[in-house]
Structure 1
Amino acid sequence: MSDWVNRMTNSTGGRRLCRAENYVQLRRFGVVFFLLFAMAFAALPQHASAQSYRFTSVQIEGNQRIGGDAILTYAGIARGKTVSAAELNDAYQRIVGSGLFEKVEITPRGNTLVIAVREYPTINRISVEGNRRLKDDALTALIESKPRRVFSPSVAEADAAIIAAAYNQEGRLSAKVTPRIIRRSDNRVDVIFEVFEGGVIEIERLSFVGNEQFSDGRLRRVLSTKQAGLLRSLIRADTYIPDRIEFDKQVLRDFYLSRGYVDMRITGVNAELTEERDAYFLVVNVQEGQQFKFGNITTTSEINDADAEEFQAALKIKSGVVYSPSLVENSIARMERLALKKGLNFVRIEPRITRNERDLTLDVEFVLSRGQRVFVERIDIEGNTTTQDRVIRRQFRIVEGDPFNPREIRQSAERIRALGFFEKADVQAREGSSPDQVIVDVDVIEKPTGSLSFGGSYSTNGGFGLLMNLKEDNFLGRGQKLSLSMSGASDNAIYGLRFTEPAFLGRDVQFDFDISYRETESNYANYDTNIASFSPGFTFPLSDNGRLGLYYAARWGEMKAADGATTGGIVDSEIAQAGLWSSSVGYKYTFDSRRTGLNPNAGWLFEFGQELAGLGGDSEFVKTTAKAVAQTKVMHEEVTLRASLEAGMLNYSGTTTGRSIDRFQIGSGIMRGFEPDGIGPREYDSGTGVNDSLGGDMFAVARLEAEFPLGLPEEYGVTGGLFYDIGSVWGLSNSGAATGSVLYEDFSARHVIGMTIFWTTPIGPLRFNFSKALRKEDFDQEQTFNVSIATTF
């Protein structure tokens, strides 16, 4: 037992001894290795930090277009100067950062520094491939890369992103653009942008949440963004464009604010892709709040020379009217004009609004105070390559040296944009040469203003026809309008030339010049006509809503017997007169309440004019016409009610009796339910078959109409309407020449009821009238269906 223990003890001690010896040897080796590593490590940084260069010459290789001095300037290394390795690296980075070189190498060779470069190639040409929706010229105008410039990969990538963004604005969010190059000789490249246009991401459904006062359909009509419908292949407004949605959010806010909903907020706009990922569901969340009206309207003055009562009398808004910010703006502008008229400069008008939660009214106090004395130093205009400066300057009501008015500057900017000559028009004010001087900068980007269009037309009266229209809205850059039109159908041809100068002699006076010629082969009368007219005139404002037009008119017309037609004595006598001239002067007064926009849901129009002929020519008469139209929207603006009354009277003097082409004729344009020349005095003889419409010396028509939705999706653009027309044509000054009986010389009212289908199409708003005459005369010619262009007053 003891021997076994002794053996075990001896063996254990031996192992311990061996382990200790190995440990000592390993430790010695580690110490030696550490000392060697530390010496090497210590030697390295001392060597690097001490490395420096001194070059007596610089050799540049590989440059072809870029001069050696320019490269040395980028490097920033002077001959004979001591530089470190870090400074060499900085020089390398500067040369690379210039963006001119595809490859750069810097190599020290003794006392010589060798800079080897490979220049970026020049662009030989630029092309766009794969694009169908957007033209090459439109895309290349957006990018920075141009022929004969140095090619830069970073610039090409940025240009590709710009082209893709242009497609995004067209609703093609999946568009991809890849820049590629084709190398040519002499270090040139062709740059090609390969375009994958992708499909249009449409808005499948546009809906609203939280709207109680206005339906989804009414709000959708406010926005420029539309949802896809029957004509989705023709309408681009149904594409998903984020920027347009942001614009529509502001439009929606303005819509509610103009109707008194001052607390309206848009809490969010949610856009979700469909399962097929080819369309969006767009949901707009709104909080309407309560509708407010104007409460007490008062004016106070802090200026001794300004009478508060006089300025109060200039206001048009009254208590109880639905609140609208535009009415407040119009009132301030009216007060400012009154202050200028009284010779008061630098008058500041501040509206102070007090909110009354109990009765939901807003009290407005207009405070007149003396503003800061700031003058307009000058008006700078840039970007107008075609439009003359004076066209833009006359949109300002102020000139250099006048007191500065920020409100007037904003209104001037709106007038410049309303011209329609510019894609963009920015008007900004900045400090001038001194703190009391302001410089107004106008920066515009012009757009094409001329058009040449060809098309076709169809009407139930005239049949099919061809149209050609040459139009220029900014003729010679002078802001003038010039149009030449020609149209022809199976029974008529019309040629017209119109010229308009909106600011005659630099004043707020519009000059118009019209020439027209018309040939007709009537399907409804037994004679053909040739009519030419010439009419210059002036129109100028009398008030905020009133306009007065003065004009001269020269008119020539002749009637010709139609082939194979049988006519009565009156028409025969009129044909026998051959061509006759009339020379007249006239005026027309128009009052349109919509100019001031006191009520966005209602408005009315009144027109009254007279024409006096006898200044030479073959006719002497006084022609009087009048028209009144009123319109309003009810049932949360879903239904539009419209009423109009129109009348006219001809008074002949001397031996003039008038002809059928000079008298009033009621066709489908004035009174629905009857063919052109379908009612009024006519000569009738059953024995000879004569049935001639003669027109009348007087007419009167009353029209009542309602327009309402039909429950169809709004994107179809289809609404319905009902109408009721009452009218008559009567009076005849030439009845003595009749060989047969003259019917309906006296007043006899016709009554027509009907329904209308309104359809907004890409070619224009159409209306389809289905009518039934409730009361008519025996020989009236009824028309139960008619297609025409829809118009509004």
Structure 2
Amino acid sequence: MQDTMFVLLMSMVLAASSGLRAAEPAAGAEVLSAGDRGGIIKSIEFEGNQKFKDHVLRQRLGFELGDRLDSFLAEGGRLTIAEVYRKIGYAYVEVSLDRDQLSRGHLLYRIDEGARVQIESVSFVGNEVMASGTLNKVVKTTDRKWLLWPFYYTEGAVEEDLDRLREFYYDRGYLDYKITANTEFTGDRSAVRVTFVIEEGPVYRVGDIVLSGNAHFTNDELRATMTLREGQIYLKPTAVRDAQEIARMYREIGYIDAEVRPRPRFGPSPGQHMVSVEFEVVEGGRFRIGRIDVTGNEVTQDKVARRVLDEYEFTPGNWYNGRIAPKEGGGLLERYVQHSAVAEQVLIRPVDPEDGAADRKDVRVDIKEGSTGMIMPGVGVSSDSGVIGRLVYQQRNFDITDWPDDPSGLLTPWKYFKGAGQSFSVTLEPGTEYSQYYVEFVDPYWRDRPTTLNVLGRSWERFRESYDEGRLKGYVGFEQRLKGRWRRSIGFRAENVTVDDLDWDAPKEIRDVKGSTQLYGVKLGLGETAVDDRYRPSRGYAVGAEYEQVTGDFTFGILEGRYTRYFTLHENVLGHKTVLAGKIRAATMVGDAPPFEKFYGGGTGPYGLRGFRYRGVSTRGLQTNVESPRRKDPIGSDWIFLAGAEITVPIISENFAVLFFTDSGTIDTGSYRVSIGTGLQIMVPQLFGQVPMRFELATPLLKDRADERQVFSFSAAGMF
């Protein structure tokens, strides 16, 4: 395209100068007469092309049969074809255009593809501090692609690698680098050896840090947020992150246009290899929020968006928080409103007020509505639950008050009950090992307050190791989100548990609870969530504790606690983050609980230990009705402790990620367990919301001899 534009530009220059002098052709270019401009293109043909089919090359040209014949566009096509070949390694391709045919409206391109140049080797010379193995990971040029296919030479790829190496050294404080590339072709021009010649130069350190332009915050206040320090090696990414954090500080309190520009300045004595880093702050104006208009929503009620804004204090009269709602878009507040409204897209933008006030910005919340209801049949496979059939009716933007005027409307419920941001679902899931049927209603802003109401009715049956377990449960729960990131909750359950169809050698602990058991529980919870993004956390922590008191046919308590910490290890230019998450979870029984309420480790659930089978880590019960009984089937443990860590590395986009993890834990019997593994995480927000699908491979390093292993696991569950 650039070559074609160049030819067009040259045509204008030649036309303007035709009355002054005759244009001289560039060396190697074909001489094309002005008479070749006119008529139409009658044919486009190619000779000598083996790598590409004719129709592929025609698509790249940018013009087609019947277009006006223009010799300069024809010449641009010749350059385009050559570039197509060079991009995949045909460094010596030659393309010519038949002038005789051109004068008659026929474009005939003759192509001499030449040899495709393969990369024979890639090496580095002159690098002393950075190991060649490290630099190999920086460049994309290699002698093998995916360890199998050859990698072919292009000048553009080598130039891009030079840029990558230069950026790599500059980001690490080597500001005097000199990096070039040498190419040595074999005699038959079928292969090339690429050598990157590197002069690293000295590493530069930070001499002093200068802040300028800041009036609202003092230098000390800004320095307190920075990680760059005098005497440290100058790292450009660190300086950029500090500048971004300072800008966020300003934007959070109404300076929505604030910008911070980090600039290294070389000191007066070059031999000292020091730089002065200046952070130039451009504060801009400070604005409060004026009127808020919600637009674009036809079905979704305004309050669905306004309740989210209210929860995050993004309301008229407050400072415009440009940290969570940046003027350029892509902020957390947009994502939260989008999730609440189940919209395709949400844009939050500041606009100038109609009265022209200089210290205020009105806000426009533009909602692009999407499909919120669905009837979804399907079949799934879970490593914990086997094969499961599925039929789901779900309305993710439900309104329990939107009843039809005519009772016949109840036959088409998907036309009604919409717009209030609630969720209602009916799920039928018959399966080979596990079957469940439930109805659930969720209101995330019960009575228009930041309180989630959850009502659930569920019936399920699962085939256990030595018995069948069925449950009929009703549940009502409330979770209130308090200011300052704290949450408190209360939940009530009434449940009937049936244990039947026992194996002949079932343990005594299972036989003791055969039949029906009535349970009634009250659960209290308290937690704090201090993360940068509640749906995709990359920094911060979440901590919580819950206690449930259960009565009925058994009286006992369940005490649980958990802590998760998130760290961003790397963030690329697209904002995709590599995240390390560490977790600790512990739980214990208070009193004598039945086996079906105790703790089982393994699998991928709340007490998951990947590398071990679901319920594969448990205290074992002694067989009955056999001559030589042994401890075989799990009967649950009175306490459990789990600890693990996981690294999520995005590939392609944040919706596709590679996982590396280690899980560990112990129960009241056996030794400490440890496993390591890897996996793939896929998120499809349009279908499953913020619930990822995970495919994982894990192997135990430490285990108890009674444990059951499972190398592969699949789940559709919450985040780590």
Q: Does 1:628 align with 2:550?
A: no
Q: CA deviation at 1:554?
A: 1.7
Whether the 8 Å CA contact 1:432–1:438 is kept in 2: the answer is no
Whether the 8 Å CA contact 1:423–1:446 is kept in 2: the answer is yes
Cα distance in structure 2, aligned partners of 1:635 and 1:347: 23
Q: CA deviation at 1:765?
A: 4.1
Match of 2:420 in 1: 478
Q: CA deviation at 1:595?
A: 6.4
Aligned counterpart for 2:460 among listed residues 519, 540, 561: 519
Cα distance in structure 1, aligned partners of 2:367 and 2:299: 11
Whether the 8 Å CA contact 1:555–1:583 is kept in 2: the answer is no
Whether the 8 Å CA contact 2:528–2:544 is kept in 1: the answer is yes
Give the TM-score taking structure 2 as reference length.
0.55
Match of 1:410 in 2: 327
Match of 1:681 in 2: 619
- Describe the SS at the equivalent of 1:647: strand
Whether the 8 Å CA contact 2:388–2:429 is kept in 1: the answer is yes
Whether the 8 Å CA contact 2:581–2:645 is kept in 1: the answer is yes
Cα distance in structure 2, aligned partners of 1:385 and 1:292: 58
Residue 686 to residue 172, structure 1, CA distance change in 2 (3 Å) = farther
Aligned counterpart for 1:664 among listed residues 599, 607, 613: 599
Whether the 8 Å CA contact 1:207–1:216 is kept in 2: the answer is no
Residue 631 to residue 312, structure 1, CA distance change in 2 (3 Å) = closer
Whether the 8 Å CA contact 1:296–1:364 is kept in 2: the answer is no
Residue 387 to residue 332, structure 1, CA distance change in 2 (3 Å) = same
Cα distance in structure 1, aligned partners of 2:136 and 2:387: 46
Match of 1:728 in 2: 666
Q: Does 1:782 align with 2:709?
A: yes
Whether the 8 Å CA contact 1:664–1:698 is kept in 2: the answer is yes
Match of 1:492 in 2: 434
Residue 204 to residue 381, structure 1, CA distance change in 2 (3 Å) = farther
Residue 770 to residue 750, structure 1, CA distance change in 2 (3 Å) = closer
Whether the 8 Å CA contact 1:673–1:773 is kept in 2: the answer is no
Cα distance in structure 2, aligned partners of 1:347 and 1:757: 40
Residue 766 to residue 296, structure 1, CA distance change in 2 (3 Å) = same
Residue 556 to residue 173, structure 1, CA distance change in 2 (3 Å) = farther
Gaps of 5+ in 2: 1-58, 65-83, 90-134, 142-163, 174-199, 267-272, 399-417
Whether the 8 Å CA contact 1:376–1:439 is kept in 2: the answer is yes
Q: Does 1:308 align with 2:225?
A: no
Structure ID, larger Rg: 1
- Describe the SS at the equivalent of 1:489: coil
Whether the 8 Å CA contact 2:568–2:578 is kept in 1: the answer is yes
Cα distance in structure 2, aligned partners of 1:206 and 1:324: 36
Match of 1:391 in 2: 304
Aligned counterpart for 1:769 among listed residues 672, 697, 712: 697
Q: CA deviation at 1:472?
A: 2.9
Matches within 5 A, 1:188-587: 308=218, 311-312=221-222, 315=225, 319=229, 322-323=237-238, 328-335=243-250, 351=260, 353-356=262-265, 362-364=277-279, 371=285, 378-394=291-307, 396=309, 397-400=313-316, 410=327, 414=331, 415-416=333-334, 418-420=336-338, 421-423=343-345, 425=347, 427-434=349-356, 436=358, 439-475=362-398, 476-504=418-446, 506=448, 509-540=450-481, 543=484, 546-575=485-514, 578-587=517-526
Matches within 5 A, 1:104-119: none
Kindly provide the amino acid, as one letter, of the partner of residue 562 in structure 1: D
Kindly provide the amino acid, as one letter, of the partner of residue 775 in structure 1: K
- Describe the SS at the equivalent of 1:474: strand
Indicate the larger mover: 309-318 or 565-574: 309-318
Matches within 5 A, 1:9-28: none
Q: CA deviation at 1:468?
A: 2.5
Kindly provide the amino acid, as one letter, of the partner of residue 492 in structure 2: A
Cα distance in structure 2, aligned partners of 1:464 and 1:785: 15
Residue 490 to residue 405, structure 1, CA distance change in 2 (3 Å) = closer
Cα distance in structure 2, aligned partners of 1:539 and 1:781: 40
Whether the 8 Å CA contact 2:480–2:488 is kept in 1: the answer is yes
Cα distance in structure 2, aligned partners of 1:314 and 1:705: 30
Residue 610 to residue 399, structure 1, CA distance change in 2 (3 Å) = closer
- Deviations 1:238-275 (CA, angstroms, capped at 9, x unpaired): xxxxxxxxxxxxxxx9xx99x9799xxxxxxxxxxxxx
- Describe the SS at the equivalent of 2:511: helix
Whether the 8 Å CA contact 2:603–2:609 is kept in 1: the answer is yes
Residue 375 to residue 570, structure 1, CA distance change in 2 (3 Å) = closer
Residue 424 to residue 640, structure 1, CA distance change in 2 (3 Å) = closer
Cα distance in structure 1, aligned partners of 2:577 and 2:673: 27
- Describe the SS at the equivalent of 2:327: helix
Whether the 8 Å CA contact 2:206–2:276 is kept in 1: the answer is yes
Gaps of 5+ in 1: 1-170, 177-202, 218-252, 263-288, 341-345, 731-743
Cα distance in structure 1, aligned partners of 2:572 and 2:261: 30
Cα distance in structure 2, aligned partners of 1:784 and 1:587: 35
- Deviations 1:277-312 (CA, angstroms, capped at 9, x unpaired): xxxxxxxxxxxx999999977778987xx6737844
Whether the 8 Å CA contact 1:554–1:582 is kept in 2: the answer is yes
Q: CA deviation at 1:642?
A: 5.4
Kindly provide the amino acid, as one letter, of the partner of residue 334 in structure 2: I
Whether the 8 Å CA contact 1:527–1:561 is kept in 2: the answer is yes
Residue 749 to residue 331, structure 1, CA distance change in 2 (3 Å) = same
Match of 1:249 in 2: none
Match of 1:700 in 2: 641
Cα distance in structure 1, aligned partners of 2:352 and 2:664: 60
Cα distance in structure 2, aligned partners of 1:430 and 1:446: 25
- Describe the SS at the equivalent of 1:578: strand
Whether the 8 Å CA contact 1:768–1:786 is kept in 2: the answer is yes
Residue 687 to residue 393, structure 1, CA distance change in 2 (3 Å) = closer
Provide the aligned C-alpha RMSD in A: 5.6
Match of 2:46 in 1: none
Aligned length: 497
Matches within 5 A, 1:55-94: none
Kindly provide the amino acid, as one letter, of the partner of residue 680 in structure 2: F
Cα distance in structure 2, aligned partners of 1:260 and 1:477: 50
Match of 2:151 in 1: none
Kindly provide the amino acid, as one letter, of the partner of residue 776 in structure 1: D
Kindly provide the amino acid, as one letter, of the partner of residue 704 in structure 2: K
Whether the 8 Å CA contact 2:259–2:282 is kept in 1: the answer is yes
Kindly provide the amino acid, as one letter, of the partner of residue 327 in structure 2: R
Q: CA deviation at 1:636?
A: 9.7
Match of 1:23 in 2: none
Kindly provide the amino acid, as one letter, of the partner of residue 699 in structure 2: S
Residue 205 to residue 493, structure 1, CA distance change in 2 (3 Å) = farther
